[in-house]
Structure 1
Amino acid sequence: MMLFVRQSVLSLLALVFIGLFCTVHAQTSPIGVSLDQRVIDLTNTLDTGFTTRLNDQLAALEQRKGAQVAVLLVPTTGGASIEDYANQLFRAWKLGRKDVNDGILLLVAKDDRKVRIEVGYGLEGTVTDLLAHRIIEEHITPAFRQGDYAGGVQQAVNDLTVLVDGGDLPRVTGPGINPQAIAVLLAFILGGIGGVLIAAGKLPWRRALIAAVVATLLLALYGGGREWPMYLLLLPLTLLIGGATFGALWLARTVFYCVIGLLLYIGGLLVVDRYVDVNFIHWLAMPLGALAVLGAYLVLWVVMRNAWKTSRVGFAVRLFAAVAMYVVAGLVADAGRDGWLLAVPITSFVALFIFGKTAGGSGSSSSGGSSGSSSSSSSSSSSSSGGGGSSGGGGASGSW
């Protein structure tokens, strides 16, 4: 039982770290800039008050018209042309609404003395190449030549706001509910409930199989749409994953209740986000990461305790090996105090397997667990991908 619990917990921890990795890297461009604000200044040119006001202006525009406008100041585009650089960012950030592609990117490469207005397909008839060129030549570059970067950016945003406000764009709709996403989520929840009931001996396998078939058909009809045959394959897999995950967690009750608590915490964040902007990177990924680390050390303590009960001599040998590993890791890091601190998580991870091997081979069992849950895609407090990002290179470039 101890071996099964340890393997289940380690698998969950792996899912947590994978989820955190995906959350942190969500909406990250190929050149390493993440869309976490409507105005991003990597040159430290604009002051905080100006950036805040500009963010508010662009947020109000997005609320009125739906168009998503982003401003980015970078020192240089490196070896890439500003057109290619802007196009990569535009597509990676998926600026604009899905199927509308009403995004605009104002890109300033300060050290290169170049500027670009990249326009999505949906706005090319409103912000034409000629108008974008006039904005650059008449309002942006004259201000930049005088060192007034804030004034140039503000005037450009004002011009773009006027054009977008006058454009004929689809009406802004509230956040829609995706039936496909709901169907998959319900399948996972139903699978989790079924897994717990099966693990608790309350639901026979035949009834569970019949319920899974019925749930698959109903959810495929509800959320599948024209792609319902694909959901006949996806939904059973989701049911199985939910059932296996929560069925295994039920065998380690402490872990189970911790996961339920985390899910309630995530649900609370989603509810709060409907009324107040929530930075999910800070409020979701970081707490999950901290809990995952604490859970890992709880598992380490459990396996070390079982190793001590199994053999005092074996425990001493493995403890010596772990200490030696710490010394080696610290020396290899060769970074002073930081190197020795970095050696702690490395050694802890190795020690988990050193002591776990003894616990697994002994057949003794012990209760213990750690909290883990895979995190969902991140959402930023100030700006996020609109699902668009389709640009055929429309817009204009300039230099000063």
Structure 2
Amino acid sequence: MNAAFSSAAVNPNSTPTNSVFLPHKYSKTSARAEAGISVPRKRRDFSQTQLSVHGIPCTHLLVHEIVQRQSQKNNSSTSLDACPNPSSHPMFLEEAYERCKDICAENAKTFYLGTQLMTEERKKAIWAIYVWCRRTDELVDGPNAVHLTSAVLDRWEERLENIFNGRPYDMLDATLADTVHKFPLDIKPFKDMIEGMRMDTRKNRYANFQELYLYCYYVAGTVGLMSVPVMGIAPESSLSAQTIYNAALYLGIGNQLTNILRDVGEDASRGRVYLPQDELEKFGLCDKDVFSRKVTEGWREFMKEQIRRARFFFDLAEEGANQLHKASRWPVWSSLMLYRMILDSIEKNDYDNLTKRAYVGRTKKLMALPVAYAKALSSPRTTPPWQSC
């Protein structure tokens, strides 16, 4: 896969219990859990490069149902009754959230900094979601990934259900159990992310963009759906909840497409090609060209189209950023800007993502933060400049 939420000591094979809480250590960096929310400054005609989201089976993903359930919970005075109170001791929970804070600060420094403007309750919840996503991803990308089986993922899903039922297994599970008790989170995006891990165990080629889009939804678009109820929608926003959730989903899609383009060479070393096979063929390319790691003119033209697609999804996501609660916008804008900069870096490397890994230097990251903050202060638009699917 293309980004990792590391958890070197995750043990999904363990039997859940209310009384045992095991600490874990984490190491690798991640991008998926940084996918928050953020639609276009202007429409572009990308028809010749298949950049339209039309035809993507959004209804199949049941996103509308997720939004409806989370919105209903949010508007219900008894919303907290949906997820039982895990009844963890306050001091224990405080320590557990501190662990989540440390993991986020170590592995997603820029995103972590952006969360500092959020309310205490919201930023703790975002850290808890980040850590769960990171641990889930590590099942496939971590040091124990060679032992991954469908049974392991089944047990991890059972453990997720226990979290939503107020029965966490360890201290990190406890933070998510506390979060789903406090916020109107639906379990489906979390289950869908696990389904994305299952896809990685049985699939390493994607025939077309429709297949790749579904994969990106499962492993990254879901993070946006998890994040909106916590980050909150601005009271002054006049857009529908569905429109704002779609924006969140599209930022996740754009982020994951960027991960894929950044990590082509790394994935190829493991025999994986996360690129639309029919579009490779359109430019006279195939898997052999990816594995040869030779940057040809055909490869550059292919990469230009892939980068344009990723930017298209960032355009779709952008307006949604300022539809969020004002205190929640900074990490979203930071994520959006930094991922755009990764695409810029690929271009500066002359589209060589076969032997080079594009990155954004620390200085550029720091320089982007005040710009992201300024954008976060903008008022929400009153009318959507795009049509949601």
Bigger radius of gyration among the two: 1
Instruction: Report the TM-score when normalising by structure 2.
Output: 0.25
TM-score by length of 1: 0.24
Greater relative contact order, per chain length (Cα 8 Å cut-off, separation 6+): 1
